[in-house]
Amino acid sequence: FSKWLLDIGDGKINEPNDGEVEIEIPEDLLITASEDPIHAIVHEIYGNSFVKEKDPKFFKRRAILSPRNEDVDKINQYMLSQLPGEERRYLSSDSIETSDTSVFDDMVYSQEILNSINISGLPKHELTLTKGAPIMLLRNIDPKGGLCNGTRLIVTQMANHVIEVRIVTGNGVNQKVLIPRMFVSPPDAKFPFRMRRRQFPVALAYAITLNKRQDGACQNNTLNVVFKEIFDNI
Q: How far apart are CA 33 and CA 225, in angstroms?
A: 14
C-alpha torsion 103→90→139→180, nearest 10: 100
Domain-located, residue 50: yes
Residue 90 belongs to what H/E stretch? strand 88-91
Does 19 reside within a domain?
A: no
The CA distance from 217 to 140, in Å, is: 14
Distance CA(110)–CA(182), nearest Å, equals 21
Domain membership of residue 18 (yes or no) is no
Q: Please compute, for residue 172, the number of CA atoms within 13 A of its CA located in the half-sphere on the CB side.
A: 16
Do the Cβ atoms of 66 and 72 come closer than 8 Å?
A: yes
CA-wise closest residue to 187 among 139, 125, 135: 139
Flag whether 88 is in a domain. Answer: yes
Domain housing 228 = 31-233
Domain tally, the chain: 1
Residue 7 lies inside a defined structural domain of this protein: no
Question: Is 51 within a domain?
Answer: yes
Q: Is residue 72 part of a domain?
A: yes
Distance between CA atoms of 152 and 149, rounded to whole angstroms? 9
What is the residue-level pLDDT of the chain in tens, covering all 234 positions?
667 777 777 777 766 655 666 777 777 767 666 677 788 888 878 887 777 776 777 887 788 888 778 888 888 998 888 888 889 999 999 988 776 555 545 556 788 888 988 887 889 999 999 998 999 999 999 988 889 998 999 999 999 999 999 999 888 888 999 999 999 988 766 777 788 899 999 999 888 886 665 444 444 444 455 555 544 544
Point out which residues pair with 199 in neighbouring strands.
182
3 lies in some domain: no
Q: How crowded is the C-beta side of 61, counted as CA atoms within 13 Å? A: 10
- The residue among 112, 110, 92, 107 whose CA lies nearest residue 196 is 92
Distance CA 90, CA 161 (A): 9
